[in-house]
Amino acid sequence: MQRERLTPERIRRFTCPDGTKQAFLWDTLSPRLAVRATAGAKAFIFETKLNRQTIRRKIGDVRAWTVEDARAEANRLTTLVDQGVDPRELDRQQKEAKAATLAAIEAARADAERRQRFTLRALCDAYTDALQRVGKAKSAAATRSAFKCHVFPNTQIALLPAREVTPHQIAAMVRKVREAGKERAAGILRSYLSAAYNAAKRAPFDSSLPSDLIAFEIEHNPVDAVPAIAVRRGDRTLSAKELRAYVGFALRVGRADVDGAALPDQALLLALLAGGQRMAQLLRAKVADFDRASATLRLWDGKGKRAEAREHLLPLAPKGAAIAASLAERAKKHEQVRAAEEGRTPDMTRLWLFSTHGRVPMTETTPGKRVAEISAAMGGEPFDLRDIRRTCETMLAGMGISRDVRAQLLSHGISGVQAAHYDRHSYAAEKRAALLAWEAELDAI
């Protein structure tokens, strides 16, 4: 065993002899310190015995460590061994502790990112996007509006991780809306929040729901603890005198033309003549949905939990059919003029029935605003589109039109096993008879 006091010059001259893999030069001042030379490198090492086992540990390259620093490290390791501590075990523990610390830091960072990303606000946005993707544009718009008005301004709650929001916080948001005198809005908000949480809760197991809801890790719905707010049933119906004013004065019955300014009135009149149809469904009708030969207007009912909108056919009576035909011809003429100006073939497949020029549908809120104007002009108790629809069904019932036919005519309550799988009757004749009788009733009024 070669042993000398290690100095920079001796270390520089020390080499590994030819024909050997490694050679050691041991220090006299720190007996467990040596320089190990191989064919391509030199390094300080520490070697000793503990419990009759040899412990050899590399300290570092001679170019990176001074002799003094290497002796200090060897002396430190010697002290550990003298205390019965294996430096290798200590290294392992320190490495594990460092790895655990790094893992904890990474977990904290990921948790902070998750808390910042998967908030209640983000859940609301993801849920409304999901509604939009499955074609429920109206529901998505209404839901987004409720969240924007009543959830997002509560930033202390809206920016919390969705899975950490408590029932007390949900209740506070709903109560705030209710105490502002908006009871129906409070009930709707509670319903929309519950739907969003339930969708995220089911997402890991329901393949029909978007996978981006899974990341919110919702296991419990905090809205469940908040009692639902019963919607007060509306009972406003128009009298015969009010309906006469609504039809004869406000809707300008008797106009032969259908210009852009009168479109909202035409929509209101056709909805009335068709028995009180939902305005949102009527405004989605296209020119191709009206069959002039049979005077039948096709609507699509996407309300409720239907995966696909249900076809809703209306065999219109003469006045209703005349309005639909006039609107269809008007849209076609606009398209023909526009196609001639653009030098292309007219495309009649995408024309909207209620549209100034056929290409852009009327805004869904326009007829509702027009009804509010009419109601204000008439004076008396206010009414809206739902009251008009309720008036129509009430009067149809008074005329002896059966509940089943009314349900088919107004497209509500048509569900269940019987309706979905067994009752394939179209009710076309019954609906036509009902609308003929209904137009006669309106003429009498």
Same domain, 213 and 311: no
Same domain, 140 and 39: no
| Residue 171 domain flag | yes
Same domain, 340 and 296: yes
Same domain, 206 and 160: yes
| Residue 137 domain flag | yes
Same domain, 275 and 401: yes
Residue 291 has phi, psi (to 5 degrees) of -100, 105
| Residue 206 domain flag | yes
Same domain, 185 and 70: no
Closest CA to 396 of 357, 349, 342, 433: 433
| Residue 96 domain flag | no
As a whole number of angstroms, the distance between CA 209 and CA 242 comes to: 47
Q: Find out whether 6 and 25 touch, Cβ atoms under 8 Å.
A: yes
Closest CA to 128 of 117, 137, 119: 137
Q: What is the pLDDT of residue 423?
A: 47
Q: What is the pLDDT of residue 260?
A: 42
Q: Is the pTM of this model over 0.85?
A: no
- Say which residues have a Cβ less than 8 Å from residue 62's Cβ, sequence separation at least 6: 11, 35, 42, 43, 44
Same domain, 75 and 155: no
Q: What is the pLDDT of residue 91?
A: 85
* Secondary structure (3-state) at 315: strand
| Residue 111 domain flag | no
Residue 362's domain spans which residues? 240-444
Q: What is the pLDDT of residue 69?
A: 96
| Residue 95 domain flag | no
Return the amino acid letter for 195. A
Same domain, 205 and 255: no
| Residue 335 domain flag | yes
| Residue 97 domain flag | no
pLDDT tens across the length of the chain (445 residues):
788 999 999 999 999 998 899 999 999 999 999 999 998 899 999 999 998 889 999 999 999 999 999 999 999 999 999 999 988 888 888 899 999 988 888 887 877 777 788 999 999 999 999 999 988 888 899 999 999 999 999 999 999 999 999 999 999 999 999 999 899 899 999 999 999 999 999 999 999 999 999 999 999 999 999 999 886 667 899 999 999 999 876 566 444 344 444 889 999 999 999 999 999 999 999 999 999 999 999 999 877 555 677 899 999 999 999 999 999 999 999 889 888 888 898 888 889 999 887 788 898 889 999 999 999 989 889 999 999 999 999 999 999 999 999 999 998 755 554 444 434 467 899 999 999 999 999 999 8
Q: What is the pLDDT of residue 252?
A: 60
